[in-house]
Structure 1
Amino acid sequence: MTDLNRLQAELTVRAAAAKDSAELEALRVEALGKAGSVSELLKGLGKMSPDERREQGPLINGLRDAVAAAIAARKAELEAAELDARLAAEHVDLTLPAPPQRRGHVHPTMQTMDEMIAIFAEMGFALAEGPDIEDDFHNFTALNFPPKHPAREMHDTFWLPQDASGERKLLRTHTSPVQIRVMQRGANHDVPSWVASGQAPPIRVIVPGRVYRSDSDATHTPMFHQMEGLVIDRAIHMGHLKWTLETFCRRFFETEAVVTRFRPHHFPFTEPSAEMDVQCDRSGGSIKIGEGSDWLEILGGGMVHPNILRTCGLDPDEWQGFAFGLGVDRLGALKYGMPDLRDMFAGDVRWIEHYGFSAFAAPSPATGLS
């Protein structure tokens, strides 16, 4: 009995004096673990006679309960002290300003596309859309590309594997296939419902969207954004195209000082065709539109080729039109001073925080958009 009382006193004193949870846990294992001093006493009950067990059992169990209670009490004290220390160290000073909240940004490409759509909408253009995966007919044949044209090769176009019928689809290389579908709808009202806009002539649509070409450098990316325009009406001529594009450039670059020139060019889908340059200043490591004596090519266009009108079921003797195409990413980079198009698709948060636009910014006086 004296030994049990001495052991109980020793263990309870040590429990009360434990400095931290690790020391207290070591004491618990020493006393109450499988090989602990109290556990060994409990194991010895099985070797005692019935009379000895009746006498020693309550005493040893009482020892176990007393030691366990002392350890639990000290554990509660240590946990409370640790919590108080954490609360003292981690308290919130409500007088301090709140931490900054990171906001999302409108991507420059989407900002540029919205600005372009708004400008052309004011000119009366409707919006048309189409699929990113196209067939050879709509992407090439209907647009007057000859069978051996280089654009059909693998090094320029992303072709998909043959389907069950032996046909190979492709990722569209331009948004012009939507123009074909809109004109077909205008001629016979028989195109899929995903063409968002289309009507019988006269037609005036813009076609924004993603396009894909096997090309990558500082001014080209395998996937980029393009916007094309199409006008079909009677007595349409190059003068209408020139006015449309010059008006767009003045509005987009927010200056009346834009000077343009048109150079003869060749596109399979327009005849005559031209590339449009804008006058600019390249000094100082940046490009400034509307000043200087240099020239920069920014888009191409021309009169819709009669072969395309016939393919779409329109009589070229009755209907004429013009078409043009602009690189959305490239124009955005030009307007907002971004030197490398590849950065637009790199997903760098620092880049988007620098070049991105706030969704709550004041409207632009030129476009009415943020």
Structure 2
Amino acid sequence: MPSSINHWSLPFPQADQRRHEVALTQAMQRVCASGSYILGAEVDAFETEFATYLGLSQVVGVASGTDAIELILRALGIGAGSKVAVPSFAPSAVAAGVARSGAAPECVDIEPGTFTLCPEALDALLTSPRGRGVKAAVVVHLYGHPADWESLQRVADAHGIELLEDCAQAHGAMWHGRPVGTLGRVAAFSFYPTKNLAALGDAGAVATNDPELAERVRMIRQYGWKERYVSEEAGVNSRLDELQAAVLRVKLGALDESILQRRRLAAEYDARLVGSRVVTAPMVRGGCEHAYHQYVVRSERRDALMLHLQRAGIPVAALYPVPLHRQRAFGEGNELLLESDRAAAAVVSLPMHPYLSEGAVGAVLKAIERFEHEGS
């Protein structure tokens, strides 16, 4: 039987639930006893507490991060007949949220070092015939690394489009001292169970300093109601439930500590991977603080490396194996997006979460070293 790093560490998110077990049980019992299960006191409290954490005035709880993207675009009046630029190397949930708004996703290439939306590629799209009708761009802070916001904002301003933040993987990341989610007009968050701030099911939020935009999202998330049972427009059912809000309130207090631990583990990986001939460690842009939702390396021998690590009992993944422009739902596969294609062929997510032991990290690094020596 292969050895496993789980000999030293519980897998995430189970370890997270165990840490907070007493508080989570109390929170869920509180909700069950309240008799209020949808958009009640727990949701109100979480929205206020998460807004305070971010330093914003408005947070609107919704059912998922994908819903958050859709609701933002609908609240901005961006839908059928419009296009929205998205990084091609990103979760398909990003493009799905755009498509559900009625707008068409338009794939754009990424920066090779950070895997985030490339400002030059966005500018090239917007100055080309393909850029006609693009009303917004979704800026994904992929793996927890902030995108080049200043450069992207210059491009957006020059072309008169909206920039939306997708912070689904970036809770706690910082861009020049500012939390991601506060860099532009509005941001989408996911609290899927594997995220840095994790619910026990699907959950999401929209964050903004624009009270009118927040009110529009609140209305759309619940059937378009301004008053109960009376729809001003055709909204949806995308409500954060009380149980998930109560869970998120418990975990929010530990978020900064858990991200610091992710950074410590990343530093250990970084130090041992210097000079490796088979993997390239992730870079961090100057002025940015990575949240390390994922610790992602590149390898020209990706498939062989992944097989070697899996045989050693080490859980690894290729996030994401097919760029959006090559997925039937979102592209024709004929765009020339070289960096997205290269990233998809080379990335490996190594084990990363705040409950990972130093022994487990050491086991991963030793396995990579064995692969390097066996191949030399």
Q: Which structure features the higher share of strand residues?
A: 1
Asked whether the two chains share a fold, i.e. TM above 0.5, the reply is no
> Into which bin does the TM-score normalised by the smaller protein fall?
under 0.3
Q: Specify the structure having the higher radius of gyration (Cα).
A: 1
> TM-score under structure 1 normalisation?
0.22
Q: Which has the higher contact order (CA 8 A, sep 6+)?
A: 2
